[in-house]
Amino acid sequence: MSASPASSAPAAAIFCRGLRKHYGSVRAVDGLDLEIRPGECFGLLGPNGAGKTTTIEILEGLTPPDSGEVRILGRAWGTHERELRARLGISLQETRFSEKLTVFETLELFRSLYPSGRDPELLLADLALEEKRDARVGKLSGGQRQRLAVACALAGDPEILFLDEPTTGLDPQSRLQLWEKMETFRATGRTVLLTTHYMEEAERLCDRVAIVDHGRIIAEGSPAELVAGLQAPHIVEFASEPPLSETEVHAIAGVRDVRRRDGSWFAGVASLVDAVPALLSTLDREGARLVTLSTHQATLEDVFISLTGRELRDE
């Protein structure tokens, strides 16, 4: 298009470089670069306090960064705010709508704020809220409120949808329902940026994820790439009586990393067919009885642990 200074990435839907933001002595965002292509569903994944919300709110033009460059659809917030606002849909973390308005009134209100957009009746249907059309927002369940928040974000028929922790605090069924709606939106070729600390969510919805910790991106790629990049793509989880020592677990053939949780050992291994027989013979040699044994494919959670040595979810 025109010779814009963002020559670095005219094609990116969302682009930022060298983003920094600190609150007092806390560096919420500490030098963060992103480039999200049009049509991509991109996830910012990380524990609470990693800087995900600060990052997404900077990209949404709601929080000014201390330094760094942001381009949304090739435009800068400083010069094209009104245009960008009309082209984006935003759902914030923990927004509460006015409880006195009905679902439909709320949708109509948000629709009226955009120059063009989707018919509120269609939005109701899209988000499975028809039955709650005339219910007061105050009477909705958590899942219904969250769907309303997404419906309001879609009211302007946006090119990019920003969702900050869209399913936090929802029951599994509501989460599943919301995921289906987000997949439908993605299928229309629009761009989605979401933050989450749920692995399953990122793995299911996102084309690519960036794992964020302490305000920086520590890994980026498709969920499959990230898992494949692990030295130990399988996890063997077991407990024995008496338990093995950490040295003994490390000594088992093919074990790459080890962690202990709730009395069980979690051993990351390169190959199950090598590691499981080796584990059994170690137990046999030590005279220990196997209490539990299970294996699973490594997930993004294991990626996070292997990168940071910490669990993703604070328990």
Partner 1 sequence: MSEPRRGRSALSMLTRARVLEFVREPEAIFWVFAFPVLMALVLGFAFRDRPPDPLPVGVVAGPSAGSLSAALAKSSGVRPVPFATREEGLAALRIGKIALLVEEAPDLVYRFDPTRPDARLARLEADDAIQRSRGRRDPAAPKEALVHEKGSRYIDFLVPGILGLNLMGTGIWGIGFSIVNARLKKTLKLMVATPMRKSDYLFAQILSRFVFLVLEVAVILVFGVFVFGVPVRGSVALVLFVAFLGALSFAGLGLLVVARAQTLEAASGLMNLVMVPMWLVSGVFFSAERFPKATQPLIHALPLTALNDALRAVMLEGKGVPAIGRELAVLVLWGAISFAAALKIFRWQ
Cβ atoms 189, 83 nearer than 8 A? no
Number of residues in contact with partner 1 under rule CB under 8 A: 29
- Choices 20-28, 47-55, 89-97, 289-297; region in contact with partner 1 by CB under 8 A: 89-97
If phi over 0 gives left and psi between -120 and 50 gives alpha, with beta otherwise, what is residue 61?
Answer: left
Q: Which of residues 128-147 bind partner 1 (CB under 8 A)?
A: 136
DSSP track, 132-149: GTTSBGGG--HHHHHHHH
Report in angstroms how near the CB of residue 103 gets to partner 1 at its nearest.
13
Tell me whether residue 114 or residue 179 sits nearer to partner 1 (CB atom): 114
In the block, tokens 């490594």 appear at 298
User: What span, in angstroms and rounded, lies between the C-alpha atoms of 258 and 239?
Assistant: 13
Q: Where are the beta strands (DSSP E) in the chain?
A: 14-23, 26-36, 41-45, 67-72, 88-91, 160-164, 191-196, 208-213, 216-221, 234-241, 255-261, 264-269, 289-297
Report in angstroms how near the CB of residue 101 gets to partner 1 at its nearest.
6
**Tokens matching residue 86:** 């009309």
Per-residue x/- track, 19-58, partner 1 (CB under 8 A)? ----------------------------------------
Per-residue x/- track, 95-124, partner 1 (CB under 8 A)? xxxx-xx---x--xxx-xxxxx--------
Task: Say whether 201 sits in a helix, a strand or coil.
Answer: helix
Report in angstroms how near the CB of residue 96 gets to partner 1 at its nearest.
4
Among 123, 152, 249, 312, binds partner 1 (CB under 8 A): 152
Cα of 212 vs its chain's centroid, Å: 10
Report in angstroms how near the CB of residue 83 gets to partner 1 at its nearest.
8
The binding site for partner 1 (CB under 8 A) comprises 60-62, 82, 85-86, 88, 90, 92, 94-98, 100-101, 105, 108-110, 112-116, 136, 152, 155-156
